[in-house]
Amino acid sequence: MIEKVSDILTLLEIKGIGPAKAKQVIDNAKSIHRDDFIFNLKEYYNCTVTKSEWITISNHIKDTLERTVNSGINCLPFYDKNYPKILNNLSDPPLILFVKGEVSSINTSFPFAIVGTRNPSKFTIDKGAEVCEIISARCDCIVSGLALGCDSIAHKSAINFGIPTIAVLPNGLDTIYPKENINLANNILDKGGALLSEYLIGIKPQRHQFVARDRIQAGLSNAGFLLESSKKGGSMHCMRKLKSLNRTIGSLVPPKSQTNDMNWSGNQELLKDHSCISIDTESENNPNSSSINDLFMNKNTIENFNQTTLF
């Protein structure tokens, strides 16, 4: 397993080869092997990598992989039986997943993403937490990103309700980001959840990795909900990806006193689309339960691929 995984990770280290192109290289390969990859890179991408260059990169990766496995982190290549097949709906699925914690928690029947700003308003802290609890009562796993603010609210709601929660990180699993949420991360693990990443240990968070992380959050989830975000907030990457995947999405309706606040502009963008399910906690009719039920109308309809061979 180490040999195949190291070849995939080495492929991803080649300049200009990200998950989408690496997937194409693998599609055209006869097998998951260094020689086939080197041939396809030259044949289809005019990218020349010598065998010695490949081995130099691969040896470093093998060493890191061994330390990863020895530290209790599970390594799931795309062909592994425990790899979440729902991720194959992405055009650029992570080819390798690293999982710390309960592996079964990343393959539940209805994982649900909840995301939002790191600096939520008091309204969201109070009302958003109530909505998260109602959602947690209707699904079997909450997916978020371990960030301060809304992500933390989401993870805690799942823990409080007794269901697993997955934290998708933009860095290697040897460190917790942000460090302020180390206790929350440990609680996630203690309660049967998992920390998940596509990055080897030792890799620190960088700006583009947050965006890449957001696609995994969306890809893993049958539906998603936005607590609070501006249009430029990172959470919008996740929500827009969910929408592009034709997954059910919902949004908290801003309080009337903050309707035009830019901190809610992301919610307003989503709510303009009639397919977005609105949750208005200020409504006299208290629509929370019925509206939230709508988020689960497509339950069990996401195609769950059984593919275990090459793409």
| DSSP states along 85-145 | GGGGGSSS--SEEEEEE-GGGGG-SSEEEEE--SS--HHIIIIIHHHHHHHHTT-SEEEE-
pTM of the shown model: 0.92
Based on the number of CB atoms within 10 Å of its own CB, is 15 exposed (0-12), middle (13-18) or buried (19 or more)?
exposed
| Phi and psi, residue 275, nearest 5° | -80, -15
pLDDT of residue 286: 55
Q: Length of the chain in residues, anyone?
A: 311
Taking the C-alpha atoms of residue 155 and residue 176, their distance in angstroms, rounded to an integer, is: 15
Residues whose CB falls within 8 Å of the CB of residue 74, separated by 6 or more in sequence, listed in order: 82, 98, 99, 100, 103
Over the chain (311 residues), what is each successive 10-residue block's mean pLDDT? 92 92 91 93 90 94 94 96 96 97 97 98 95 94 98 98 98 98 98 98 96 98 98 97 97 94 97 93 64 76 40 31
| DSSP H stretches of helix in the chain | 2-13, 19-27, 34-45, 51-70, 122-123, 129-136, 150-161, 182-190, 207-220, 235-244, 265-271, 288-294
Residue 290 confidence (pLDDT) = 65
Q: Which long-range contacts (C-beta less than 8 Å, at least 24 apart) are formed by 265-269? A: 265/229, 265/230, 265/231, 266/226, 266/228, 266/229, 266/230, 266/231, 266/232, 266/233, 266/235, 266/236, 266/239, 267/226, 267/228, 267/229, 269/231, 269/236
Residue 299 is given by DSSP the state: T
At 61, is the secondary structure helix, strand, or coil?
Answer: helix
Q: What is the pLDDT of residue 180?
A: 98
Q: Which CATH class is domain 104-294?
A: alpha beta
Which sign does the torsion angle of CA 222, 161, 101, 61 carry?
A: positive
Q: How far apart are CA 146 and CA 186, in angstroms?
A: 11
Q: According to the model, what pLDDT value does residue 303 have?
A: 45
pLDDT at position 306 is 39
Q: Is 141 exposed, middle or buried (0-12, 13-18, 19+ CB in 10 A)?
A: buried
Beta sheet of 194-197, edge-to-edge order: 74-77, 96-101, 194-197, 165-168, 141-144, 111-115, 223-226, 248-252, 277-279
pLDDT value at residue 308: 35
Q: What is the three-class DSSP state of 220?
A: helix
pLDDT at 45: 87
- CA 197, 203, 207, 208 dihedral sign is negative
The pLDDT score that the predictor gives to residue 299 is 56
pLDDT at residue 176, rounded to an integer = 98
Q: Count CB neighbours of 153 within 10 A.
A: 22
